Amino acid sequence: MSSSSTSSCHGSGNPSPPAAAGAVSVAAAAAGPAAWPRRQCRDVFWLVVFLLHLLVFGAALALFGLNRFHQADRFNIGRYANLTAEPWGTPAGPPDPAPAPPPPSVYRSEDPSVPPSELTETYWKYYGAAGAVGAALACAWLAAAAWRKDGGKVVMRTAVHCLTAYLAVVSVLCFWGKHFFWGVALAVGAGLHFLYVMSVLDRFPFTMLVLQKAVRMVRELPDVMRIAYAFVLVMLCWMALWSFGISGIVAFGIPNGGQWWLLLIFSVSLFWTGAVLSNTVHVIVSGMVFLVLIHGGPAAATMPPKPLLKSLQYAVTTSFGSICYGSLFTAAIRTLRWEIRGIRSKIGSNECLLCCIDFLFHIVETLVRFFNKYAYVQIAVNGQSFNRSARDAWELFQSTGIESLVAYDCSGAILLMSTILGGLITGTCMGVWTYFKQSDKAVMVGSTSMLMGMILVGLTVVVVESAVTSIYICYAEDPLLIQRWDPEFFEQMSEALHQRLQYRSARARQILNGRLDHLPHTSSI
């Protein structure tokens, strides 16, 4: 946290960072609106890059979609897909004039592998259905999690028990359809997921406790669920254009694997766009949760007017550049950190392997210092740049010991499982439908539909994840905030933190003694 910041509450509804780590002035926060300096736009470069990316990729998607809309190869893009290098020694000369294209009514593609009936609208209906299935799953997930008292248990049990079985079933379907690569990949994924669940089974009671309290917080803030539904609608609008262009690419026969490369490029674009929208929801919800904990409840008399609208305004204006920047890296680094932690904890006495894993672990831990999901809470609270917010959050966790509790909690992994499961259901539905219509394109449509489903479900999952991260930040800033909100939960978190710190201290002594035992014995002089 920045030491120059003051602890007060802006009239717009966003709390300021504390004057020092672990010391939030609740009295100042509850005193009401105060004069605040206006927030400055942060990470503007990445905001410009993201907007240019939307413009360029949107134009490209429109071009590919229109190229085969109602007419095959309308813009004659096929001439670029079929270029071959001239052999050595071929005399240079003027190129042969291109023949005039036939009328649209009798036009046929020059590529014999692509039937003339495969147009953009042939596949657009599959992606339209994928968007509908993904949106329905997203809304159903949030309703099941937030509108039930045991929503945390429902989320956890569904993610843990269903994902392994579903991955195994889909791998069998891939083998049945003679897609051996995808069958092996999904079977390996099912095995790794099962092993991960077995390795962290002892952490599930605490994880379920945290998820239950986060779901309770979301249930107390119904406005944030409406924000999530609104962002799902925004994402569906962009997916309409994205799926229009992707349908044109799938219908357009590009040799030498060109289709897969284009699909990969545009899938990365969709993933970044979805991550930006998801993290925007993250910032909005984090600001609201922080306010509720500082003021003692959503119905407190000291709550500022229209806090949700002001949080939304900050998220899509001054903080949007930071959101665009962090969305490029946080998801990948967080997933890599989980995997390395799981491998590291299971290594026995193999010193060589342990040394290599430790080297990777320290690299990832350094990256986590600059790219972590807790930065979004800081962005919502104080409006600083992404890297500054990430460093402040991580230093706060390190200085208070909360990082040991965060590392023990598996709620992030559980919510990621829910996202993957939603994507798998969407991709399977569309892949099976496509298989019975155009079997050779089933994997293409299924894999891209899976990405659409993951992004849509992730937009609602992030609501609960934001509540979890905000609870940890508030507990690190001032544990009394959690105690005022839920005394029993405060005692449980304090006990868990005490146990984790004791465990880490004992493990450090054990490692140190083991290394001292391996030192060569020398006679005393």
Q: Which helix (H) or strand (E) holds 34?
A: strand 33-34
Give dist(CA 422, CA 434) in Å, integer.
19
pLDDT digits (tens, 9 = 90+) for 389-447: 888 888 888 888 888 888 889 998 899 999 999 999 999 999 999 989 888 888 899 99
Is residue 23 classed as helix, strand or coil in its secondary structure?
Answer: strand
CB–CB of 266/246 below 8 Å?
yes
CB atoms within 10 A of CB 386: 29
Residue 25, pLDDT above cutoff 60:
no
Average of pLDDT values for 274-301? 86
Contacts with 319 (C-beta within 8 Å, 6 or more apart), sequence order: 39, 42, 283, 379, 380, 383
Average of pLDDT values for 358-369? 69
428, two tokens: 């399977």
Question: Which carries the bigger pLDDT value, residue 517 or residue 76?
Answer: 76
Number of H helices and E strands in the chain, helices first, is 20, 2
Return the bridge partners of 10, or none: 34
Q: Which helix (H) or strand (E) holds 165?
A: helix 151-176
CB atoms within 10 A of CB 466: 30
24, two tokens: 């939030």
Give dist(CA 489, CA 152) in Å, integer.
15
Q: Would you state the pLDDT for residue 1? A: 40
Pairing of strands 9-10, 33-34: parallel
Exposure letters 281-300 (e unless 16+ CB within 10 A, then b): bbbbbbbbbbbbbbbbebee
pTM listed for this prediction? 0.80
pLDDT digits (tens, 9 = 90+) for 464-498: 999 999 999 999 988 998 988 889 999 999 999 88
Q: How far apart are the first and last CA of the chain?
A: 51
Q: Give the CA angle between residues 512, 515, 520 to the nearest 5°.
A: 140
Give dist(CA 136, CA 422) in Å, integer.
10
Q: pLDDT band for position 304 (50/70/90)?
A: confident
Q: Would you state the pLDDT for residue 94? A: 53
Q: Where are the alpha helices (DSSP H) in 256-384?
A: 258-295, 307-316, 320-327, 330-346, 351-370, 375-382
For 162-283, strand residue ranges (E) read none
Cβ burial, residue 354 (10 Å; 0-12/13-18/19+): middle
Is residue 306 classed as helix, strand or coil in its secondary structure?
Answer: coil
**Averaged confidence pLDDT in the chain:** 79
Residue 266, pLDDT above cutoff 50:
yes
Q: Would you state the pLDDT for residue 245? A: 94
Residue 291, pLDDT above cutoff 80:
yes
- Please, how many CA atoms are within 13 Å of residue 220, restricted to the half-sphere of its CB? 18
pLDDT digits (tens, 9 = 90+) for 87-131: 434 444 455 555 555 444 333 444 444 455 688 999 999 999 999
Least-confidence region, from 95-109, 173-187, 254-268, 488-502: 95-109
CB–CB of 131/243 below 8 Å?
yes
CB–CB of 53/271 below 8 Å?
no
